[in-house]
């Protein structure tokens, strides 16, 4: 066997090994890289976890306030007495785009039942975020969180790198449920409905 032939076979073997590692990295963990790879952002892929907290042992939601993507001040405390759904998203996240229509539809249908939706837009550019909201007809406000500062306030309940994630806050300001991963219309509705039925 010639030296060139041995070298060619070695390069093929190395390339195959690298491909196996890359595929295992995407399938083996909850956090993967969105496409294009150069985005450098993290999101939840092929992973879904729902947690329901019993009424007597719900963690208190952090006091979050900031500026929305459209430049308006917003505080979660202003929603006290209502059920609040907080969704962590980014326009660069393909899984976020997949769940966006369900969130937008639910926000409109549940508004008269005292349910308020708030987004927290992570590691994003304002223009991209606005385009995302227009594309998916998201009419509820989203806080601008380019450096993950707001997301980190929820780290006891939601892994900071887990995008998308959604939490439901009861009327007393406590976290009643969370979804790590893509939220479906029916799955999210099933979590919201019993919280709405609770007395304040």
**Mean pLDDT, residues 99-119:** 97
Which helix (H) or strand (E) covers residue 168, if one does?
Answer: strand 165-169
Length of the chain: 200
* Confidence at residue 22, expressed as pLDDT on a 0 to 100 scale: 29
Residues 58 and 91: beta-carbon distance below 8 Å: no
pLDDT in tens, 117-167: 999 999 999 999 999 999 999 999 999 999 999 999 999 998 877 899 999
Give the bridge partners for 117, in sequence order.
Answer: 85
* Confidence at residue 199, expressed as pLDDT on a 0 to 100 scale: 80
pLDDT in tens, 22-73: 222 222 222 233 332 223 333 444 346 899 999 899 999 999 999 999 999 9
* Confidence at residue 65, expressed as pLDDT on a 0 to 100 scale: 96
DSSP 68: B
Separation between Cα atoms, residue 85 and residue 74, nearest integer Å: 14
Strand, coil or helix: 123: coil
Distance between start and end Cα atoms, the chain: 79
What are the residues whose beta carbons fall under 8 Å from the beta carbon of 51, sequence distance 6 or more? Answer: 177, 178, 180
* Confidence at residue 160, expressed as pLDDT on a 0 to 100 scale: 73
Separation between Cα atoms, residue 149 and residue 175, nearest integer Å: 19
- Does pLDDT of 77 surpass 70? yes
Rounded (5°) CA angle 33-35-37:
65
* Confidence at residue 21, expressed as pLDDT on a 0 to 100 scale: 29
Report H helices in the chain.
Answer: 3-28, 94-110, 126-135, 149-153, 185-197
Q: Is the peptide bond before 113 cis (omega within 30 degrees of 0)?
A: no
**Mean pLDDT, residues 173-197:** 96
Q: How many CB atoms lie within 10 A of CB 194?
A: 14
* Confidence at residue 134, expressed as pLDDT on a 0 to 100 scale: 95
- Does pLDDT of 2 surpass 70? no
């Amino acid at each position: 066997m010639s030296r060139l032939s041995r070298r060619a076979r070695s390069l093929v073997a190395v390339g195959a090994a690298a491909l196996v590692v890359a595929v295992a990295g995407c399938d083996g963990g909850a956090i993967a890289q969105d496409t294009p790879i150069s985005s450098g952002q993290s999101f939840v892929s092929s992973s879904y976890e729902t947690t329901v907290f019993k009424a007597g042992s719900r963690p208190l939601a952090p006091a979050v306030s900031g500026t929305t993507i459209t430049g308006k001040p917003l505080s979660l405390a202003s929603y006290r007495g209502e059920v609040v759904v907080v969704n962590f998203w980014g326009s660069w996240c393909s899984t976020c785009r997949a769940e966006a229509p369900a969130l937008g539809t639910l926000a409109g249908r549940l508004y008269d039942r005292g349910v308020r939706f708030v987004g927290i837009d992570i590691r994003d550019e304002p223009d991209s975020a606005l385009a995302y909201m227009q594309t998916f007809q998201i009419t509820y406000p989203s806080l601008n969180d380019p450096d993950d500062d707001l997301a980190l306030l929820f780290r006891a309940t939601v892994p900071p790198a887990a995008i998308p994630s959604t939490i439901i806050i009861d009327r007393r300001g406590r976290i009643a449920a969370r979804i790590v991963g893509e939220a479906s219309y029916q799955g999210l509705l099933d979590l919201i409905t019993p919280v709405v039925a609770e007395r304040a």
